Structure 1
Amino acid sequence: MSLAADILDAARARGVMIATAESCTGGLIAGALTEVPGSSDAVDRGFVTYSNAAKQQMLGVRAETLEAHGAVSEQVAAEMAAGALRLSQAGIAVSVTGIAGPGGSEHKPEGRVCFGIAQPFGTRTETVEFGAIGRSNVRAATVDHALQMLMDALRD
């Protein structure tokens, strides 16, 4: 069984649907989940919000949060996950926002990804520094980490 299939089983067992809010992965997390046959009873929807405008319009991320912290921040990841939860039929939502590369800056290096998990009782975030391992590797590592966070949250 794949991790994605295990996540879907765990979501079904808890009676919750899953939503994703993705920036740097462009829908790859939702893609990994929906690659599993029969996933439609456990996956509600995915939001691909690559631009700051999309984060605001589709997920309700506040302009003030983007201005104060930047798109690649735990604060934005939290608002993305909470927005996906609020604007869907899901009982759990995962969000990712990061710098897949190439490039970055001194303050926001390539390979930095911020994650959020939102459930009705609250939202938690974390940041992972994958390093300058190349765009496709950062995106793949982000999908794997997001799926593991979903699994862990569904087990709690």
Structure 2
Amino acid sequence: MTTRVQSQPFDMGAEVQAFTKTATGAGAIVTFSGLVRDEGGTLTEMEIEHYPGMTEKALEAIRAEAVTRWSLTDALVIHRFGQLKPGEQIMMVATASRHRSDAFQAAEFLMDYLKSRAPFWKKELGADGQTWVDAKDTDEDALKRW
């Protein structure tokens, strides 16, 4: 079981393959990868900041909660920081369980947490200047279901 916070890109195919090899006893594996999106067509890059040590601890705690809550056989969380261009991967979640329902629910739980509560600060830089990304009500609402 792994949680990683890193600046370098990752190969999702290689990560899924490695995760699958270690997911002993699983009957289902769910994966998700989030990308930098440019909704307005003006984004040059997104800068993601975090506090080393604190961030990893927070992500590991929520990963451990998902493992226990949904009886996962394994879980993986990768989140990047630094300067990312539109279309680049920001994060990846993989969950493994005996049954698909648990794997899907745990993956959604982890994604909602990463979007709303993970200790990362995002700044969008583009043609119109730079703006810190605020939490969205829809993201907060998604987290309330858990």
Q: Same fold (TM over 0.5)?
A: no
Q: What TM-score do you get using the length of structure 2 for normalisation?
A: 0.30
Q: Which has the larger radius of gyration?
A: 2
More helix by share: 1
Q: What TM-score do you get using the length of structure 1 for normalisation?
A: 0.28
Which one has more relative contact order, counting CA pairs under 8 Å at least 6 apart? 2
